[in-house]
Structure 1
């Protein structure tokens, strides 16, 4: 019977579960809701479990399911990880391992080809993960209540802080500030209390598209916010590079819509790395992060 690994990418907006064979082919997959406990604390487990059940029940009689590898956004929020793994093992009868989504994203970059690599993960949140000879280091990823510089959420938060600071200093608004307040229906800075505290992190982060649009139109304030994001991410990369003792053989890859799609961010990041004397090979592929879970299982000898 053909062997498969069930790979799970439980992110902040959706959970993807894929059964992947030894030829790196997806034989069946299902998608569920947000699987991050940092986004949906109590519902996230069910959002992982439901598509996992769908995939497992579909493939269990056709394939030999050898391992279930799960990557979870907000992994650091989880408690009693071994209990969760044991609970899932009791249901499926297959060994289960949980790691952070940054880890599986990293393995989707290094695949089964490289021994050194860095993943810049910057979407709604941000983190940088690096690996050398199996040793992994994660920097950032502490969530919005601490710091997620370089993320779309932090970019929007920076814009809001700029608007508040300028108004309190001069009783005026910048052109970018006026446009943003018009967009969200804010009549004064007091409205930002509702905006920041009554909207979800994902909803707030979605307004980074406004910043990108204004930057493409040439607004200098918007451009600065995006360039600052790139510089912040470069500092995180430098920490990983230095502390893992990486070399120029390392590969760097990017995951997350903000670093991949927002203008200026990736370019400013790489420019700053050059300024630090760090020169890395860029991963140019478009590998789905869920494949990182497959490669983690592969390197563990599970398939």
Structure 2
């Protein structure tokens, strides 16, 4: 019997799911991140080996194991790709494996292996399409150059709106008091030291403020929060339009990331062509990695 392992290795965790030939889930485990920029080579190898050995039944021959591995950082940087390939090769000796980017397995899982578009809006943002067996990406330039529509971008919009309302440059809404209460600020201007000191002006720390926009829209129907969602939808629409131009037939768009929790506030402002259809993800990224592993076996047969 052959076994298939789908691995989703992102910036916060590494998830392993064991499947049989018919995509039935046999076992799962979640371990710490093995991200190439966050772990040493030895740490990453230990995590990858531990995950595989934990989910596999005892006494399975390596030749009967097929692994699809989606890892963050496995992109256009040749140095990082080489380092990741070295780590994976040492982790899965004697097993059949295929490496992809974590965004690619996210798309394959969300669209069940079909062609289409995938939009990530988490701490960062990017768009990815899959057509004729090829992936194409837009966005994903990082928070200093882009990542429009991401949680970081959303939080920055919130903070900028706060400063404008405090100044009187824009009408004051519930946004100021909600942000002050959430961050435990006494004075309006305490936000400066809060961002620079408590949040250390770090991307992921600032991005953690993004859910406040959702709270304001959900609980207070705050006009400023809805304006921010309208701008966010414009940025996400831009990613989708850029990729949809390559399709001459109806295309499905799926998504992932915490920002999409506000879908009910984003959807009304998305400007999609008639042949572009937004759909909820069908499966998780591990399933997308399973499809890679299954394809690997089929190609060997």
For residues 190-235 of structure 1, give each alpha carbon's deviation from its aligned partner in whole angstroms, at most 9, with x where no partner exists.
Answer: 2254268516533332322211111122100011111211121011
Q: 1:11 & 1:90 partners in 2: Cα distance? A: 19
Change (3 A) 1:168 1:44: farther
Q: 2:193 & 2:104 partners in 1: Cα distance? A: 38
Q: 2:171 & 2:224 partners in 1: Cα distance? A: 15
Change (3 A) 1:78 1:258: farther
Shift of 1:252: 1.5
Decide whether the 8 Å contact of 2:34 with 2:48 is kept in 1: no
Within 5 A, what are the aligned runs for 1:255-294? Answer: 255-269=256-270, 272-273=271-272, 277-294=273-290
Match of 1:110 in 2: 111
**Could you say what the CA RMSD is over the residues aligned between the two structures, in angstroms?**
2.9
Q: Secondary structure of 1:124's partner? A: coil
Change (3 A) 1:95 1:255: same
Q: 1:154 & 1:129 partners in 2: Cα distance? A: 19
Shift of 1:261: 4.3
User: Structure 1 residue 198 and structure 2 residue 196: aligned?
Assistant: no
| TM-score using structure 1 length | 0.82
Match of 1:222 in 2: 225
Within 5 A, what are the aligned runs for 1:90-101? Answer: 90-93=90-93, 94-101=95-102
Match of 2:66 in 1: 67
Q: 1:212 & 1:104 partners in 2: Cα distance? A: 28
Change (3 A) 1:83 1:284: closer
| TM-score using structure 2 length | 0.83
Within 5 A, what are the aligned runs for 1:70-219? Answer: 70-76=69-75, 79-93=79-93, 94-112=95-113, 114=114, 116-167=115-166, 170=169, 174-186=173-185, 187=187, 188=189, 189-194=191-196, 198=200, 200-216=202-218, 217-219=220-222
For residues 262-285 of structure 1, give each alpha carbon's deviation from its aligned partner in whole angstroms, at most 9, with x where no partner exists.
Answer: 54123422xx11xxx342244345
Match of 2:52 in 1: 56
Which of 206, 228, 234 is 1:231 aligned to? 234
Decide whether the 8 Å contact of 1:126 with 1:150 is kept in 2: yes
Return 5+ residue gaps in structure 1 as ranges. none
Shift of 1:73: 3.1
Decide whether the 8 Å contact of 2:107 with 2:288 is kept in 1: yes
Q: Secondary structure of 2:5's partner? A: strand
User: Structure 1 residue 43 and structure 2 residue 46: aligned?
Assistant: no
Change (3 A) 1:141 1:166: same
Return 5+ residue gaps in structure 2 as ranges. none
Q: Secondary structure of 1:299's partner? A: helix
Q: Secondary structure of 1:198's partner? A: coil
Q: 1:80 & 1:87 partners in 2: Cα distance? A: 11
Change (3 A) 1:278 1:35: farther
Decide whether the 8 Å contact of 1:9 with 1:72 is kept in 2: yes
Q: Secondary structure of 2:205's partner? A: helix
Decide whether the 8 Å contact of 1:6 with 1:18 is kept in 2: yes
